Amino acid sequence: MFKVPTYLAPSPIHGTGVFTAVPIPAGTVIWVFDHPIDWEIQPEEMMTIPEPFQSRLRHFSYLDERGVYVLCGDNARFMNHSFAPNCDDSGVATVAASDIAAHEELTCDYRSFDLESRVDGLGHFQDEGPIEVTA
């Protein structure tokens, strides 16, 4: 769940993005998993969801290190990927990697927390530069 005020708006990166309503100093915790706002869906459970609902859920969720799908219950599910993100997801929480100005889009590197992006690559982001895939 976001710990800072955000809003959705058209993104120059892709479709809809998440923007901060206030300036955020570097190192500020901006998002943490908060049950029951954010959902965990076991892979077996995900496979029982009929289409087209399963595809939509998978589009807005990520596969964490444990192999569990996480669906953010707030605007976080609209965060766009960047190879030079302003958010750092390498720890337990998402923190501002640098000072972020008010009304700036919040971005993350999907490979830092999503196993599917890390393993399968990010082919749909080819225009941003070369894709590095690490397992």
pLDDT tens figures, 39-82: 999 999 999 999 999 988 888 898 888 999 999 999 999 999 99
Round to whole Å and give the CA distance between 32 and 89. 10
Could you check whether the bond before residue 52 is cis, i.e. omega within 30 degrees of 0? yes
- Of 119, 15, 16, 131, nearest to 62 (Cα)? 119
**Does some domain include residue 52?**
yes
How many domains does the chain divide into?
Answer: 1
Indicate the helix (H) or strand (E) that contains 120.
helix 115-120
Confidence grade of residue 119 (pLDDT, cut at 50, 70, 90): confident
- Inter-CA distances, 30 with 4, 23, 65, 90, 125, Å: 6, 11, 20, 13, 25
- Domain span at 12: 6-128
pLDDT > 90 in the chain, percent: 67
**Does some domain include residue 134?**
no
CATH number for 90: 2.170.270.10
**Does some domain include residue 14?**
yes
Say if residue 130's pLDDT is above 80. Answer: no
Amino acid at 112: S
CA dihedral 87, 90, 92, 94 (to 10 degrees): 0
